[in-house]
């Protein structure tokens, strides 16, 4: 399971890196598909920065941290971090849907990755938990 989680973290780093590239891009975004799908609009919005740091940079750091935890098989700590990442990603997705009205394909991919990571880590923690059956 460790390597599946590490590979998913790499996919997350790639998606967040592509979003970060859009944040700094000054020309037309290659993922400007239509009026509902435009990474440039999302990544140039005021919501794309938190405390002066692009949220894509926070995503890169988060996926690197999750990857390190997966590599060390620190699944319980990874579950806590993944839940925090999922909550943050859902918050940003809500902004895309209800405030901006525009979607970023890289952000949606990242949401899928963090969702899958969270489910897999949760399953791993549940399966690997110690059996505390009460003996009669």
Helices (H), the chain: 2-24, 39-43, 55-71, 75-95, 105-128
Domains of the chain: 2-128 (1.20.1440.130)
pLDDT of residue 43: 87
Contacts of 115 (CB under 8 A, 6+ apart): 86, 89
Residue 62, helix vs strand vs coil: helix
Give dist(CA 38, CA 30) in Å, integer. Answer: 9
Q: Provide the CB-side half-sphere exposure for 6 (13 A, CA).
A: 10
Query: Sign of torsion, CA 111 87 55 6?
Result: negative
pLDDT tier, 31 (very low <50, low <70, confident <90, very high otherwise):
confident
Give the integer Cα–Cα distance in Å for 2 and 110. 19
The answer to pTM > 0.75 is: yes
Tens of pLDDT along 54-107? Answer: 999 999 999 999 999 999 999 999 999 999 999 999 999 999 999 999 999 999
């Amino acid at each position: 399971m460790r390597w599946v989680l590490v590979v998913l973290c790499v996919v997350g780093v790639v998606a967040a890196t592509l979003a970060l590239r859009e944040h700094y891009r000054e020309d037309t975004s290659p993922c400007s598909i239509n009026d509902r799908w435009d990474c440039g609009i999302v990544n140039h919005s005021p919501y794309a920065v938190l405390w002066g740091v692009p949220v894509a940079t926070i995503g890169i750091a988060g996926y690197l941290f999750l990857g390190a935890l997966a590599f060390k098989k620190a699944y319980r700590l990874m579950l806590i971090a993944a839940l925090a990442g999922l909550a943050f990603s859902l918050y940003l997705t809500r902004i895309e849907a209800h405030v901006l009205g525009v979607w970023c394909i890289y952000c949606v991919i990242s949401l899928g990755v963090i969702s899958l990571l969270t489910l897999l880590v949760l399953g791993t923690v549940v399966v690997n938990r110690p059996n505390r059956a009460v003996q009669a």
